[in-house]
Amino acid sequence: MMRAVVLALLMILAAPVARAQVPFPAAPVRILVPFAAGGPTDVVARILAELLSAQWGGKSVLVENRPGAGTIVATAAVAKAPADGHTVLIGTNSLLINPAIDAKLPYDTFKDLAGVSMIATQPVALVANKAFPANTIPELVAESKRRAEPLNYTSPGPRGVGHLAGEMLKVRAGIDMIHINYNGSAPALTDVIAGRVPIMFDIWHSARRYVDSGELKLIAGAGAGRLADTPQVPVIAETFPGFDVIAFNAMVAPAGVPRPVLQKLSDDVRAVVGSAEFAARTRHLGIFPGGNSPEELLAWMHKETARWAEIARAANIKAE
């Protein structure tokens, strides 16, 4: 009798452990990247894929590049994929900007997708041609107001984080600026260096080499805190409190992934991005690795989308 009671207690105690051992992945995992191969998001995805494969005992983790339509092609593919956790997306700022400016997406960001974990963030900065007369945000605002024509600025592409950062500055400062469209950071930086466009919002890691060489100058960081490698340069928030713009990579999955699977996927991604190996292999990209829970990521996504929607309305930005 006593032996039967002991066995029953052992089974009860073991049950939660058994439930926690989710058999995932049960098939190759596909990580969709919404850009062509070779860019920083693609590089992050491939490092993540390799380390996740090792985390999962050598199981296949494949990276698929699905560029197009401002990241909508890849996002739609994941939104419509089976909700089993085996197809995920590396989302960027466009994941949240697109629903803020476009009511005709082929998916609903918050009904068809589920957050998994943040992967990394990158600082954004405002840089200028070395001959631009302003060196600080207050000077830039004064220069813009002095001009008879709007102040031109650029970014790596329309309706991206740099474009929206410029519109946020325009609204907060009450100045007139016009975004000059480019397809990528490299051609935009080339024209800022040449003086064809005076200022640019870009990923700091992308622009930094030209600031270091003296071809461009740093006006301000766009995040809440000063850039780690240029602590002497104020950020925009020191003139306009609350101004905080970062670039990010985050993993999202189709909505409806079973909670135990979603949690295991999130836990494993966080274990990888929190590892010393991931930090060492991504250091050259200028990113800050960091994970969070599905609930934390989803709450942040809602907050960011609402903020961009407010800026888009104020600046009258609409999808073409």
pLDDT, tens digit, 9 for 90 and up, residues 252-296? 999 999 999 999 999 999 999 999 999 999 999 999 999 999 999
Return the CATH fold of 27-121+247-315. D-Maltodextrin-Binding Protein; domain 2 (3.40.190)
Query: What is the average pLDDT across 195-224?
Result: 96
Is a pLDDT exceeding 90 seen at residue 15?
Answer: no
> What is the per-residue pLDDT for 120?
97
Residue 232 CA to residue 135 CA, distance in Å, equals: 13
Q: How far is CA 175 from CA 6, 133, 143, 167, 316, in A?
A: 75, 16, 10, 10, 15
Write out the E strands in the chain: 29-33, 61-65, 87-91, 113-129, 151-154, 177-180, 199-203, 216-221, 246-254, 288-289
* Per-residue pLDDT at 13 exceeds 50: no
| pLDDT the model gives residue 184 | 84
**3-state SS assignment for residue 221:** strand
pLDDT of residue 70: 84
From its phi and psi, is residue 174 left (phi > 0), alpha (psi between -120 and 50) or beta?
A: left
Q: Do the Cβ atoms of 153 and 180 come closer than 8 Å? A: yes
What does residue 211 show for φ and ψ, rounded to 5 degrees?
-70, -40
Task: Compute CA 43 distance to the chain's CA centroid, rounded to the nearest angstrom.
Answer: 14
Once rounded to an integer, what is the mean pLDDT over residues 32-58?
94
pLDDT-derived band of residue 27, with 50, 70 and 90 as boundaries? very high
Asked whether 103 and 266 are in contact (CB, 8 A), the reply is no
Taking the C-alpha atoms of residue 238 and residue 284, their distance in angstroms, rounded to an integer, is 28
Cα-based angle 269, 289, 78 (whole degrees, multiple of 5):
45
**Do 159 and 319 contact (CB within 8 A), yes or no?**
yes
Sequence-ordered strand ranges (E) for 73-213: 87-91, 113-129, 151-154, 177-180, 199-203
At residue 66 the predicted structure's pLDDT band, cuts being 50, 70 and 90, is very high
Would you state the pLDDT for residue 320? 63
pLDDT of residue 242: 94
In the chain, which residues fall in CATH 3.40.190.150? 27-121+247-315
* pLDDT range class, residue 131, cuts 50, 70, 90: very high
Distances (CA, A) of 234 to 92, 121, 136, 220, 258: 26, 20, 8, 6, 45
Pinpoint the residues of the chain covered by CATH 3.40.190.10.
123-238
**70: its two tokens:** 């401002």
Tell me the three state secondary structure of residue 6: helix
Candidate CATH numbers 3.10.110.10, 3.40.190.10, 1.10.3720.10, 3.30.460.80; the one for domain 123-238: 3.40.190.10
The pLDDT of residue 38 is: 86
pLDDT at 91 over 90: yes
